[in-house]
Structure 1
Amino acid sequence: MEKSFNNRLLDKCNQVNNRLCIGLDIDPDKLSDNISDLKSIEAFTKEIIDATIDFCPVYKPNFAFYERFGSKGFVLLENIVAYIGDRAITIADAKRGDIGNTSRHYADSIFNQFGFDSVTISPYMGSDAIVPFAEDETKGVFVLCLTSNSSAKDFQFITENDSQLYEVVSDKTNSLNKHNNLGLVVGATNKQQMEALREKNSLPWLIPGIGAQGGDLETSIKVGNHNGIGIVNVSRSVIYAGNGSIDEIHKSALNYTQQIRSFL
């Protein structure tokens, strides 16, 4: 019997004693002129993976950075996922969110065509947008819950029956976790809410907002791993580190890793 996604995630993180997720969001506008076309972007991305795969358990490409190139960008994304293979957990940061039959087709695309291990989902349309992605227990779903962006409060902090919307999302996701493969996206920029949310359940957390967005690494690791597992996503602070050389990227990722290990 194959392991559930949440157990696979925990195993992979424990193997390297790390909770780091590197966001593979390559923006040529922020890099040297030598990295400007799809071929050079693919080579650069693979170099990042090679420099960090020994200690990084999770990688997360954001679809927007690949969709911008049209169909050729999708080929690039497929190549990157295949290159990682089973050496690490992959998260498709696609933020899908649609009704049942459409969601099933999205799930087929992300899991069976691209080959991702997991995906981010917007829960606005309810359980119809979540359940079709969770039918295979070996594949994971991270549901947007308490995000790190400044306008998150527009909706996520609305109160209904003494609960804020992000709390309702957490409770509903936990109730749907029949196959031990659901998790939450919980931003690193809301310490008080993070602490309260972690007491609700032990769902895995994907924690954005570290580094460039100002979230606190120590708080994220200690709270996120207090009653479950929490992985912290770092993108810009790693892939654009220093002068953008692979050596600087390796140093930045290793520095985050060493800090994470000290907080576990």
Structure 2
Amino acid sequence: MNEPFFNKLRNQCDAKQSRLCIGLDIDFDLFPERIDQTVFGAFDFLKEIIDSTHKVCVAYKLNMAFFEQFGYKGYQLMEKTVEYIDNRAITICDGKRGDIGNSSNKYAKSIFSHIGFDSATISPYMGKDSIIPFLEDSRFGVFVLCLTSNPSSIDIQRIKADSKPIYLHIIDIINKLNNKNIGIVVGATQNSEMSIIREKSPSTSWLIPGIGKQGGSLEESVNFGNSNGAYGLISVSRDILFYNNSEQKDIFNRTIFYHNQIGKILYEK
């Protein structure tokens, strides 16, 4: 399909009346005992999650670190998982790539053309040259790290240059690129800055991690992330995957809990 990325995203959100993104993180330390701690067991577990949640889940985010830990078998697992999701939801490669030039081109080719992801997270530390190669095909989307949920984001992202913090300079770069297939990553723990970010990027879509175990604000994330007709994806990982005993019914029930909470904020105003 040649459908532009954000058309696919909008269609998923509207059809499912949802903004929920589930992070598929493979952590054997948290795996339920019933699942074999092998790559094969991990795939069975991921299939259970996808089968239980895809009707209300807009996107699945695969953090590459949790797959790369298994070497080439992890890459095979990643490819199989993306293939299994197919067109039931948007797929996000959370690899935070950030190189330039030909290297960045090859990363984009690997993520989009080979593995088959719909979108990717990108680090802007090396400037717009690390972003542009991922924007060349409108079928694929990019979420650029802007203000992340980790406490040490203050070390760089809030440092001021020319009287404003770095994260606002990142928004300036994104606004100048002015592509329809570019969004930003805004941590749910950064609720005090969300109004500023939304003001500077009125219609940019957000990927919002930090809900659940990290304690981010769901209400403010939904409200600011989805204002002005933009789409803000609420990303939850551990608090769905490893809820209670991680039985299929536990995963389904926790997914529905988040779906309903997001829906109340979004639609019952």
Q: TM-score range by the shorter chain?
A: over 0.9
Partner in structure 2 of residue 90 of structure 1: 91
- 2:76, 2:141 → 1: CA distance? 22
Corresponding residue of 1:37: 38
Aligned equivalents of 2:23, 2:50: Cα separation in 1? 11
Contact kept in structure 1, 2:32 and 2:245, CA below 8 Å: no
Q: Which residue does 1:259 correspond to in 2?
A: 261
Aligned residues: 263
Contact 2:121-2:145 within 8 A present in 1 as well: yes
Unmatched segments (≥5 aa) in structure 1: none
TM-score for the superposition, normalised by structure 2: 0.96
Q: In structure 2, what is the Cα distance between the partners aligned to 1:147 and 1:263?
A: 22
The answer for the alignment partner of 2:234 in structure 1 is 232
* Matched residue type, 1:6: F
SS at 1:157's partner residue? coil
Partner SS for 2:125: coil
Distance (Å, rounded) in 1 between the aligned partners of 2:134 and 2:259: 30
Q: What amino acid is aligned across from residue 21 of structure 1 in structure 2?
A: C
- Cross-structure match for 1:133: 134
Can you list the C-alpha shifts for 1:75-96, whole angstroms capped at 9, x where unaligned? 0000000000111100000000
* CA offset digits 1:11-42 (Å, max 9, x no partner): 21111000000000021111133320111110
Matched, 1:247 2:249: yes
Partner Cα distance (1:17, 1:260) in 2:
10
Structure 1 Cα separation of the partners of residues 83 and 175 of structure 2: 31
- Report the 3-state secondary structure (helix = DSSP H, G, I; strand = E; otherwise coil) of the residue aligned with 1:142: strand
Displacement of 1:246 after TM fit?
Answer: 1.0
- Equivalent residue for 2:49? 48
Counterpart-to-counterpart distance in 1, 2:63 and 2:2: 27
SS at match of 1:250: helix
Shift of 1:2: 3.7
Once the two structures are TM-superposed, the CA of residue 4 in structure 1 deviates from its matched residue by 2.2
Kindly provide the amino acid, as one letter, of the partner of residue 176 in structure 2.
Answer: S
Contact kept in structure 2, 1:34 and 1:40, CA below 8 Å = no
* Matched residue type, 2:256: L
Match of 1:15 in 2: 15
CA contact (8 A) 1:119 1:142 kept: yes
Residue 165 of structure 1 aligns with which residue? 166
**Aligned letter for 1:4?**
P
Contact 1:189 1:216 in 2 (8 A): yes
- Opposite residue 78 of structure 2, the aligned amino acid is L
CA-CA distance at 1:226 after TM superposition: 1.0
User: Structure 2: where are the runs of 5+ without partners?
Assistant: none
1:137-184 CA-partner distances (Å, limit 9, x unpaired): 010000000000010000000111221100110121121133x00000
Query: Percent of counterpart pairs with the same letter?
Result: 50
Contact 1:174 1:182 in 2 (8 A): no
SS in 2 for 1:93: strand
State the Cα distance separating 1:135 from its structure 2 match. 0.2
